[in-house]
Amino acid sequence: MANRLIIVESPSKARTLSRFLGSGYTIKASMGHVRDLPKSRLGVDLDKGFEPQYEVTKEAQIKDLRAAAKKADEVILASDPDREGEAIAWHLAEALRLKDPQRVVFHEITRAAVKAALLAPRPIDRDLVFAQEARRVIDRLVGYQLSPFLWKKVRTGLSAGRVQSVAVRLVVDRENEIGAFVPEEWWTVEAQLATQQGTTFGARLYARRGETGDGDGDDLEVAAKPAEPGDSKLKLPDEAAALKVMAELGVDEEGKPGPGVPPFEVAKVTARESNRSAPNPYTTSTMQQDASTRLRMAPKKSMQIAQDLYEGVELGSEGPVGLITYMRTDSTRISDTARDAAHAHIEAAYGKEYVGRGAPRAAKTKAPVAAQDAHEGIRPTDPARTPDSIASHLSAPQLRLYELIWRRFVASQMSSARFDTTRVDITAGDYVFRATGSVLRFDGFLRVLRREDDQKDRSLPALTEGALLALRQLSREGHVTQPPPRYTEASLIKELEERGIGRPSTYAPTLDVIQERKYVRQEERRLHPTELGKTVDGVLRAQFPDIVDVAFTADLEKRLDGVEDGHAAFETTIRDWYVPFADTLEKAEANVERVRVPTKDTGEECPECGEGRLPAAPATPTASTSRRRDRRPSPPASPAPTAAAPWWCDRASADPSWAAPAIPTASTSATRRRGRPAPRARRPPRSSAPVPSAARSWPGRAAAVVPSSGAPTIPTASTSSRAAAARRARARPPSRPARAAPSAASRW
């Protein structure tokens, strides 16, 4: 019997495939990429058409795969079905020295799909490989040439990237919009009305009737700019305007109707049936957005769990089974086989009337780059495998994500929900109030995808034109326009997708790296730019506008897609981008001065010079940041520096004659414990005035004085300025006894 070797990427996928295939197959895992660009150098030959210079990264794995390939009659490369997977297959062929290897792709890990894929092998798609190489080379050129520039001009350890720098710019731009936002006040007026049968409902002031109107609510005088609530066209800029309306309607400031209230009459009733269509199956970005919003699951985590569900999960006697299709996709299309299976499950579980009819709805997108449509949308491999039926085999996060995907797909194949919507216009004097209501007549796809908002009762009582209503209460409410919200991880992914920045596989890593680099921080699930992020973004905008330009980056994505389609050449695409980039980089390195990252101002004046401002406290060394060679208990944390213990004001940072204090490290701490004095930081002379003693001290501590015996002692307040000592005394709580000075051995 012929022995066929199948090489996949992960061991879990290999275990799942082993259950489907017989003894004639050997399944091995490459553990991802086996070759990559070197980490210690650029790895791109700029003089030979930007040729990548790869090196093997997994020698032991290659040795094992070569031994298996020699024993096999046929080698099949079955890495993931995307650009990255195609590149991995090509690297495997090169590293294993394979001649004419066969390539198969598994869009889902099920018995039927795997056997069908094995019957349709193909050669490696070199256009896909070139497209991945082009992205890899450009990312390497940006990272290994622009990042050192940031090290020189801003701070070491920084990085820049083709996608990550644009993501940081979007976060910074949103923060600037919020900072520049000027709130505006607006008011609404709402009436509580009752029918003759006593049923009450609410109606909001909508517009002013025209002076020549016929009273049917159609001839309305409205403001040029609608009010923010959306269902009102009469703009009330302040409370005085709202009170004026209430007075004209014969109502006092408390909202109680008076004798002069005009009749409230139903002028027009509009009833119609509306449909809400089912959503499309998930793409990578929409799955990440919903997982973040509804499950509070970070994009990186949701992708890891989706990978596990795709590669296979043990289902008891069934063994490992792939539960979802491939999770990196920008398409929402579904195969005919999957659609038929979904319809069969829906009819059996909910009834024939719930089965969706007609052609599927086309996905709406604002993205300037067309979807590649290389894969189906994300869906369960078997719709009949409900979340409840496999809950005992899944971990809690796996179950939550699988249920999210299952419900979305099943709902996408169900019929639309139908509502009876009613809109009522009510006239009162010179004004028109409007009430809207809706009643769910047929739930359709909401049977499996209903949210809390869909369950609220918005129905209106039965009303006829000309009916008179009783005014029970007239209330006013003030509002303030809100700035655009800060991005969440979900909304930033949506923004990147709509602007054509990045691809499905890049969203989660991009969000991860901008937070790891401290360009962006997350507070209450909202993304805030840090001072470092603002500084780096400012430098890149000023010197490399194309790198952070949204339109330019989206256009570069189109050109890279052209390489994949075979419409653009690898070398030409990279050269057209690199030549202007290299010129800009050369000029920036020669002309740009070093940029200082701003520190957060505490608002306190420097007590020594009286001119500078104190920044926020730096990180204090602890047992985790400074290794301790003994087991002595850690000293209490130093308080944040105040006027009593300054160290480095903004005037000092700008004046070269003032020197920064030496921050104790593990080496200096060990030296002090052994009884030897630590080396003192060199300071340039500052005119004729001595350096303030407090500026020489470690934040929150007085400066150490080393006697002739070599053992450091802790000075008291008498060695500092009198003013500083007095302020320390005032700051100490009166009920707290004075703390003894720590011994020299336990100081750090």
- Count other C-beta atoms under 10 Å from residue 108's C-beta: 23
What is the SS3 assignment for 356?
A: coil
Length of the chain: 748
Q: CA nearest 543: which of 597, 593, 598?
A: 593
Report the alpha-carbon distance of residue 367 to residue 498 in Å, rounded: 4
Q: Which residues in 185-212 are b (16+ Cβ under 10 Å) and which e?
A: ebbbbbbebbbeeeeebebbbbbbbeee
Q: CA nearest 532: which of 540, 544, 542?
A: 540
Record the tokens describing residue 431, joined without a space: 């004004």
Do 746 and 632 form a contact (C-beta atoms < 8 A)? yes
- Which string of DSSP letters, residue by residue, matches 593-644? PP-PPPPPEEEEEPTTTSSSEEEPPPPPP-TTTS--SS-PPPPPPPPPP-TT
Burial class, 608, CB count within 10 angstroms (exposed 0-12 / middle 13-18 / buried 19+): buried
Write down the H helix ranges in 96-224.
Answer: 111-118, 126-153, 164-180
587: left (phi over 0), alpha (psi -120 to 50) or beta: alpha
Do 374 and 81 form a contact (C-beta atoms < 8 A)? yes
Q: Which residues pair with 436 in a beta bridge?
A: 423
Q: CA nearest 86: which of 13, 44, 136?
A: 136
Do 14 and 8 form a contact (C-beta atoms < 8 A)? yes
Q: CA nearest 492: which of 179, 171, 173?
A: 171
Do 487 and 171 form a contact (C-beta atoms < 8 A)? yes
Q: CA nearest 635: which of 624, 623, 626?
A: 623
Report the alpha-carbon distance of residue 306 to residue 683 in Å, rounded: 57
Which member of 326, 350, 354, 402 is catalytic? Answer: 326
Residue 139 sits at φ, ψ, to 5 deg, of: -65, -35
Report the alpha-carbon distance of residue 86 to residue 26 in Å, rounded: 21
Q: Which amino acid is at 127?
A: D
Residue 579 sits at φ, ψ, to 5 deg, of: -60, -50
Report the alpha-carbon distance of residue 297 to residue 253 in Å, rounded: 48
| Residue 54 annotated to the active site | no
Report the alpha-carbon distance of residue 623 to residue 37 in Å, rounded: 38
Report the alpha-carbon distance of residue 711 to residue 707 in Å, rounded: 7
Q: Which residues pair with 8 in a beta bridge?
A: 29
Report the alpha-carbon distance of residue 620 to residue 700 in Å, rounded: 10
> DSSP strand E in 195-263: where?
200-209, 220-221
Q: Which residues pair with 442 in a beta bridge?
A: 418
The residue behind tokens 């009273």 is 215
- Which string of DSSP letters, residue by residue, matches 717-732? GGGS-HHHHHHHHHHS
Q: CA nearest 13: which of 110, 99, 103?
A: 110
Q: What's the gap between Cα 474 and its chain centre?
A: 43
* Mutual angle of helices 111-118 and 11-20, in 10-degree steps: 90
The residue behind tokens 């969000």 is 511
Report the alpha-carbon distance of residue 50 to residue 572 in Å, rounded: 10
Report the alpha-carbon distance of residue 4 to residue 13 in Å, rounded: 17
The residues annotated as belonging to the active site are 326
